[in-house]
Amino acid sequence: MENLEEDSLYPTLLNALITGGLEPIAQAAFDYLKHPFILVDAEYNRLVQIPNEPIGDMIWDSIWENDGVPLNLLQLFSDEHLLQKNYNSNKSFFANWGSLEKCPRILSNISVKNSIVGYTATLYLHDACTEHDLAAIDLISQVFAIEFQRQNLHVTEVHTMWALFLTNLFEGKIKNHKDLAQWELYTKHSLNRDFCVVAAQPYKGTSEQSSLPYIRKSIESFYPLLHPVISDEYLYFLLSDISSNHSYESELKSLVANLADYNLHIGVSYRFSDVLDIGIYKDQATLAVANGSSSADPSHVYFYQDCALGEFFLGASEHMNKQNYLHPAIHELRDYDKEKNTDYLHTLSVYILSMCNASETLKQLHIHRNTLPYRLRAIEKIANLDLNDARTCAHLLCSFYLLQYAE
């Protein structure tokens, strides 16, 4: 095998460095290797592709058409562990599995000061890959690193990987804290504790301008790292570092203000501390939108905390016969009120839903303070109740909530 020092690669690359620029180095690599060659940055944006045209390879042509590696391909490469291997490899390697089984490539990364700044791929559709080829691409990657550093191209925010990370997170593909730590390493960002999920859905019948892809693109222009994820006709956002009320409300207020022009229903989940629980809180934000958008609330911003109780009791009532869960006193008082033209059931409902707070009950019923004790004694007698019994009051509370949310 001919040593690299003795063949034409060294002087060719040296001349490319003297000329300056990434394209002369890529052209030198193509001329030497005689294989299609592509260079992308750390965000997987296309920098140089030789030949600069479609060649009938699906992956190559897709990168050429999109001026970079599209998100669906990044997702595929991540699922096949190609991204992870390329990120962690100290040397180039031959990839011939998964989507690359029939169109293998030599993959390599370009590192400056221990930070990945780009990647190369060299197609080997028909010829066998040799150790000499791998050594040549290692050298080519080192020369690219010199040029990246000379042009100060190594200062970059890895937004594309961040977008892929958030998509995987919302789709439940990041299963444990080890995987999470690895993704934080890829993206060069760490998630601060205390999160909430925001879901947004356009009003029914809104214009094409309010389509989800359009809204997402617009939002990314003023929130580069937020990257809304589109899923099931919703836009989802992950807000982090909301440990204090002030920062939470401030960030949420800013987000809502920027969403105001897009005619959106917005749902907000509870706060949570473990980002791997995101699926639970994604559902909460979605339910908040579903409940709020069907209500008369004009604010268009809905909090799950305002509908959580309703969701709980509605779910319970769907699997039970009403006669099985309502306290019998409710039927007895309803019949008594109908016969005697009294209002005892309403009085009991207000009293129980006020957590047996006499002052609050008087305020809501607009009655004299001496009237309430009289009514409560009558209610206890008619329905054979003891309103000092905790279990009785708990059963009544659940019954009234079930009636409130199920009817």
207 pLDDT higher than 50 = no
Residue 344 vs residue 183, higher pLDDT = 344
Over residues 384-401, the pLDDT tens digits come to 999 999 999 999 998 898
The residues, any chain, with a CB within 8 Å of residue 22's CB and separated by 6 or more, are 39, 47, 48, 144, 147, 148, 151
Place of tokens 């207000």: 350
Q: What is the DSSP string of 340-375?
A: HT--HHHHHHHHHHTTT-HHHHHHHHT--TTHHHHH
Over residues 87-107, the pLDDT tens digits come to 889 999 999 999 999 899 999
The closest of 144, 85, 136 to 117, measured between CA atoms, is 144
Q: How confident is the model at residue 47 (pLDDT cuts 50, 70, 90)?
A: very high
Whether the bond between 51 and the residue before it is cis, its omega within 30 degrees of 0, is yes
379 pLDDT higher than 90 = yes
Which range scores top for mean pLDDT: 26-40, 111-125, 182-196? 26-40
Measure the CA–CA gap between 220 and 272, rounded to whole angstroms.
Answer: 24
Angle at 119 between CA 111 and CA 81, to 5 degrees: 105
The residues, any chain, with a CB within 8 Å of residue 391's CB and separated by 6 or more, are none
Measure the CA–CA gap between 59 and 48, rounded to whole angstroms.
Answer: 15
The closest of 326, 369, 360, 359 to 345, measured between CA atoms, is 326
Lowest mean pLDDT among 9-18, 43-52, 290-299, 398-407: 290-299
What are the strands of the beta sheet with 229-231, ordered from one edge?
229-231, 234-240, 195-202, 264-268, 301-303
The closest of 162, 279, 306 to 226, measured between CA atoms, is 162
Secondary structure letter of residue 129 according to DSSP: P
What is the arithmetic mean of pLDDT over 126-153?
Answer: 89
Give the chain's domains with CATH numbers.
4-150 (3.30.450.40), 192-306 (3.30.70.270), 321-406 (1.10.10.2840)
Contact 174, 276 (CB under 8 A): yes
Measure the CA–CA gap between 43 and 310, rounded to whole angstroms.
Answer: 44
383 pLDDT higher than 50 = yes
The pLDDT, as a whole number, for residue 313 is 74
Number of neighbours of residue 341 by Cβ within 10 angstroms: 7
Percent of the chain's residues with pLDDT above 70: 89
The length of the chain in residues reads: 407
The closest of 203, 198, 197 to 264, measured between CA atoms, is 203
Whether the full predicted model's pTM is greater than 0.75, yes or no, is no
Helix, coil or strand: residue 37: strand
Over residues 343-354, the pLDDT tens digits come to 999 999 999 999
H-helix or E-strand spanning residue 127: none
Percent of the chain's residues with pLDDT above 90: 46
Rg, the chain, Cα only: 32
Measure the CA–CA gap between 313 and 73, rounded to whole angstroms.
Answer: 43
Pairing mode, strands 264-268 and 301-303: parallel
Contact 300, 265 (CB under 8 A): yes
Lowest mean pLDDT among 55-64, 134-143, 228-237, 304-313: 304-313
The pLDDT, as a whole number, for residue 407 is 61
